[in-house]
Amino acid sequence: MSRRDRVADAPVMAKVGLTVNGQRRELDLDIRTSLLDAAREHLHLTGSKKGCDHGQCGACTMIVDGRRINACLTLAVMHQGSEITTIEGLGQPDNLHPMQAAFVKHDGYQCGYCTPGQICSGVAVLAEIEAGIPSHVTADLNAPIEVSAAEIRERMSGNICRCGAYSNIVEAMTAVAGRQA
Amino acid sequence: MKFDTPAGQNPIDQLKVVGKPTDRIDGKYKTTGTAPYAYERHDVVPNQAYGYVLGSGISKGRVRAIHVEDAKRAPGVLAVVTTLETPRLERGTMNTAYLFGGDAIQHYHQAIAVVVAETFEQARAAAFLVEVDYAAEAGKFDLAAEAKGAPPVPSDSGEGSGGDGEERVGDFEGAFAQAPVTLDETYTTADESHAMMEPHATVAAWDGDKLTLWTSNQMIAWGHGSIAKILGIPKANVRIDSPYVGGGFGGKLFVRADAVLAALGAKAAGRPVKVALTRPLIANNTTHRPATIQRVRIGATQDGTITAIAHESTSGNLPDGDPETAVSQTKLLYAGANRLTAMKLAHLDLPEGNAMRAPGEAPGLMVLEVAMDEMAEKLGLDPVAFRIRNDTQVDPQAPERPFSHRDLVGCLRLGADTFGWAKRNPRPGQVRDGQWLVGLGMAAAFRNNMVLKSGARVRLDGSGTVTVETDMTDVGTGSYTIIAQTAAEMMGLPLDKIVVRLGDSDFPVSSGSGGQFGANSSTAGVYAACVKLREAVAQRLGINSADAVFADGAVRAGNRAVPLGEAAAQGALSAEDTIEFGDLAKKQQQSTFGAHFVEVGVDADTAEIRVRRMLAVCAAGRILNPKSARSQVIGGMTMGTGAALMEELAVDTKRGFFANHDLAGYEVPVHADIPHQEVIFLDEVDPMSSPMKAKGVGELGICGVGAAVANAVYNATGIRVRDYPLTLDKFLERMPDAA
């Protein structure tokens, strides 16, 4: 293919309707827009972070229709009608979600860049365990799954923290799980 | 304020706020996603366009032509700036490689163009339409091949380690030849990437000839001066703002291509532009920790007294680059009358090697502390006892120079007791736990304490709130909180009456963040400014400042007590000062110490290595905030575990680049790799360091921990691998029969 053949056409636009943190949002997007960029660049919800844009780091984790996903690996137009919770929807500076408060108390972060993804993942992980969804380290598929450190570490391993707050994040999640129980 | 005599009693010693485990004051913003990082500054300037950076596809040579016609015609494209139409730009502070301009390619993924468009998707699509013609040249990419004949070169990491190319005390060769017990081994450490979670990113906006950069940078004053120099504009016309930095680890000490290309792109497009380096660009476009080849020789008497010690390191870098200062700690850590250290530098055409968390000590201790473990085994000594036997309270190269405070022995003893070291089987490969071979390892931690000039401005308003402004950065280190604690302690206020504003080049110049110098230096600067503010308050209230007591939100003198805010009722009171350090650090050696203890399990069949327990005991002066300081230490322990077990930029020695240049290929520790980590701080102060009596702790955690992991793996398996990272392929064929 010559260079001339590859000249980009005008962007293909599409309308997409999402419910983001309880609010109905209508967007007219270039269909190449990732769900992450729809949030960050179009809705100015910048709490979800772009660490790699390749699904390798987890900083963009959002909860979509009840399941956590890497928002950089999915196009916004694939989520017509989806219910999306971002970090901004979990709690606000003066009204923290228990998981956010636990991260502050246990110092489960340092630079803060992976933190929204860790927290969204953390909330979803506890729900997954509660729902009986097994992981690689679940020993007994027929018994209720315990919120053990091993389960947390396994399930959280898609969320990289280069500052190395892992030990504290496990403590924060364990504390929240104990409160829920 | 000049700090040239040891600190006496001062208001910090009250420890009402300082020294208490304190939640970060920025925590509620970071945990809710409302702390603004560079690429997210929709609030600061409207109409931002998107820049997408292209990196060179060759490692050395010239760019012949860049065809941008198609890209320029692509939908939404506003401008394309190429390196060929830009004269080679000056380099910023302490950089080796050029960031942009001209036709010469020094390394792979060097920036060669930026495409600016209305949207990110359009900029990215158009960037793929750019075609580049190169004239590639042969380069040198293989450290092992170039190491022979590499000359000794002096260097200063700028972060507390360095020295002459070769340094000698006594007669090393003679003493080594005579020593009854000797060790002579060679080890390698890998090229490593900072891999901070936030990519390098900048929003640039021009207002006439004035430029503002909202960026992610550890050292605002360096960046401020560098941008002016690189772009050839007066410093007065540049402002840099970096209130939140999503990790740096040395990778954001310097201005990088994102800042330069955002500025050039904004100029060309005639509107604000934001640029983030894509993740796959970062490893090769920016800096990295250089790989090393290190030889250690130790000679000792039968009772384990070191008589000769030599540590030589060879690393590579671009022309004008520096060697990794991997031998520095060996000058100070252990006694021994006859000594040799050397840093050798090979010319390589790989990307620029530069500072990464604890440059020098991190790879240096990964080697020295394994050599010490090997030597202890040869001597039949416990590794803890061997280190204690060779402790020194003076600089071994200049015995008239004592350490300001040194309790390495205390760290070793407390760590051994706490960890259950006595239960370790000194014979390797003996302990089984099901499928796991279990081993314990330890290592000493050592990192120098640097003090740097640091300024701050403090302002008291009528509500009794004190606002602190300094260009200090918080790179996850907890600067916001320890600065607030310092101001609160000095002014007798609760933490919620302190506002801290950081990272703006309009604020007084601070130490910045690096080399574990930031916490002690920047809070000492805030201390100095607060001393002046206390004087201003006393003067305004007509109190003798020597009699004034600042406590509980009020100023007291004799029977009189005035709420602090009243001093500013007629108008805010402001004070600014800079702490400057005299020659105390020359008279006495200021260092920080620690001991790492690690337990690993190694799968008897697959040689998979799992870290099971970790403990660090640290002696680093007064700990300003034990909560965030502990996090700094466990973060170092985590990164050091990565260096020991998995981190390696894989060099394509033919084409000359790091092949695994993203977060899937370059493996860093994840949750499942890291167990519960314990940290103990010795209760100590160091009045030689600053009025805060604190020392650096941000890099101590990474120093030595990799060797502790490696020593534990040896204790588990009986296999000594001297080439990091310790991946299972290096063990499999040598594993004991699993049956």
pLDDT in tens, B30-63: 999 999 999 999 999 999 999 999 999 999 999 9
Chain B contact for A90 (CB, 8 A cutoff): yes
Could you give the CA distance from residue B287 to residue A106 in angstroms, rounded to a whole number? 32
- Residue B180 near residue B237 (C-beta atoms within 8 A): no
CB-nearest to A167 from B76, B196, B677 is B677
Q: What is the mean pLDDT of residues B237-242?
A: 98
B162 falls in which pLDDT band (50, 70, 90)?
confident
| CA nearest to B74 within chain A | A8
Could you give the CA distance from residue B20 to residue B489 in angstroms, rounded to a whole number? 11
Confidence (pLDDT) at B738: 59
Confidence (pLDDT) at B545: 86
Q: Which residues, other chains included, contact B615 with Cβ-Cβ below 8 Å and sequence gap of 6+? A: B415, B418, B419, B596, B597, B598, B677, B678, B679, B680
Could you give the CA distance from residue B719 to residue B430 in angstroms, rounded to a whole number? 12
Rounded to a whole number of angstroms, the distance from the CA of B424 to the nearest CA of chain A is 24
Residues B70-104: tens digit of each pLDDT: 999 999 999 999 999 999 999 998 889 999 999 99
- Which of B150-164, B282-296, B544-558 is predicted most confidently? B282-296
CB-nearest to A7 from B74, B122, B195 is B74
3-class secondary-structure state, position B652:
strand
- Residue among B690, B624, B626 nearest B18 (CA): B624
Displacement of CA B190 from its chain's centroid (Å): 17
- Residue B123 near residue B110 (C-beta atoms within 8 A): no
- Residue B18 near residue A74 (C-beta atoms within 8 A): no
Residues B394-421: tens digit of each pLDDT: 999 999 999 999 999 999 999 999 999 9
CB contacts of A9 in chain B (<8 Å) are 75
- Residue B666 near residue B647 (C-beta atoms within 8 A): yes
ipTM over 0.85: yes
Number of neighbouring beta carbons within 10 Å of residue B135:
12
Taking an 8 Å cut-off on Cβ atoms, the answer to whether B31 and A114 are in contact is no
A181 falls in which pLDDT band (50, 70, 90)?
low
CB-nearest to B198 from A45, A103, A113 is A113
Taking an 8 Å cut-off on Cβ atoms, the answer to whether B121 and A30 are in contact is yes
CB-nearest to B32 from A10, A47, A49 is A47
Chain B contact for A178 (CB, 8 A cutoff): no
Rounded to a whole number of angstroms, the distance from the CA of A42 to the nearest CA of chain B is 10
Q: What is the mean pLDDT of residues B548-575?
A: 96
Angle at B485 (CA atoms; ends B484, B487), nearest 5 degrees? 65
Taking an 8 Å cut-off on Cβ atoms, the answer to whether A111 and B197 are in contact is yes
Displacement of CA B34 from its chain's centroid (Å): 25
Rounded to a whole number of angstroms, the distance from the CA of A81 to the nearest CA of chain B is 23
CB pairs under 8 A between A and B: 220
B736 falls in which pLDDT band (50, 70, 90)?
confident
Taking an 8 Å cut-off on Cβ atoms, the answer to whether B671 and A112 are in contact is no
Element (DSSP H or E) covering residue B263: helix B257-269
pLDDT reading at B242 higher than 70: yes
Topology, domain A98-180: DNA polymerase; domain 1 (1.10.150)
Name the β-bridge partners of B622.
B694
Chain B contact for A179 (CB, 8 A cutoff): no
Residues B10-25: tens digit of each pLDDT: 999 999 999 999 999 9
Could you give the CA distance from residue B554 to residue B544 in angstroms, rounded to a whole number? 15
Rounded to a whole number of angstroms, the distance from the CA of A88 to the nearest CA of chain B is 6
B331 falls in which pLDDT band (50, 70, 90)?
very high
Name the β-bridge partners of B554.
B551, B563
- Residue B332 near residue B396 (C-beta atoms within 8 A): yes
Could you give the CA distance from residue A177 to residue A146 in angstroms, rounded to a whole number? 10
Taking an 8 Å cut-off on Cβ atoms, the answer to whether A163 and B24 are in contact is no
Tokens of B143: 């450290």
Taking an 8 Å cut-off on Cβ atoms, the answer to whether A116 and B276 are in contact is no
Annotated catalytic residue B131: no
Could you give the CA distance from residue A9 to residue A32 in angstroms, rounded to a whole number? 13
A37 falls in which pLDDT band (50, 70, 90)?
very high
3-class secondary-structure state, position B706:
helix
Give residues 123 to 142 of A whose Cβ lies within 8 Å of B. Answer: none
Confidence (pLDDT) at B160: 79
Element (DSSP H or E) covering residue B460: strand B454-460
Chain B contact for A85 (CB, 8 A cutoff): no
CB-nearest to B631 from A45, A53, A165 is A165
pLDDT reading at A4 higher than 60: no
Confidence (pLDDT) at A7: 56
Rounded to a whole number of angstroms, the distance from the CA of A181 to the nearest CA of chain B is 22
List the single best residue of B43, B197, B258, B482 to mutate versus A (max A Cβ within 10 A). Answer: B197
In chain B, % helix, strand, coil (3-state, to 5) comes to 30, 30, 45
Residues of chain A with CATH 1.10.150.120: 98-180
Name the β-bridge partners of B192.
B289
Taking an 8 Å cut-off on Cβ atoms, the answer to whether A162 and B40 are in contact is no
Confidence (pLDDT) at A1: 44
Q: What is the mean pLDDT of residues A15-19?
A: 98
Taking an 8 Å cut-off on Cβ atoms, the answer to whether A164 and B70 are in contact is no
Taking an 8 Å cut-off on Cβ atoms, the answer to whether B32 and A100 are in contact is yes
Average pLDDT over chain B reads 97
Residues of chain A with CATH 3.10.20.30: 4-90
Chain B contact for A118 (CB, 8 A cutoff): no
Q: How far is the CA of A133 from the CAs of A61, A126, B159, in angstroms?
A: 19, 10, 48
The single-letter code of the amino acid at B623 is I
Catalytic residue (choose from B198, B684, B699, B733): B699
The single-letter code of the amino acid at B497 is K
Considering the domain delimited by A4-90, tell me its CATH architecture: Roll (3.10)
Residues A102-134: tens digit of each pLDDT: 999 999 999 999 999 999 999 999 999 999 999
- Residue B695 near residue B592 (C-beta atoms within 8 A): yes
pLDDT reading at B563 higher than 90: yes
**What are the structural domains, with CATH classification, of chain B?**
2-35+451-585 (3.30.365.10), 40-138+195-285 (3.30.365.10), 402-448+590-739 (3.30.365.10)
Place of tokens 């097994």: A134
| CA nearest to B661 within chain A | A52
Taking an 8 Å cut-off on Cβ atoms, the answer to whether A113 and B478 are in contact is no
B209 falls in which pLDDT band (50, 70, 90)?
very high
Chain B contact for A65 (CB, 8 A cutoff): no
Name the β-bridge partners of B312.
B295, B342
Could you give the CA distance from residue A136 to residue B461 in angstroms, rounded to a whole number? 57
Confidence (pLDDT) at B157: 81
Rounded to a whole number of angstroms, the distance from the CA of B276 to the nearest CA of chain A is 10
Chain B contact for A41 (CB, 8 A cutoff): yes
The single-letter code of the amino acid at B633 is V
Rounded to a whole number of angstroms, the distance from the CA of B639 to the nearest CA of chain A is 7
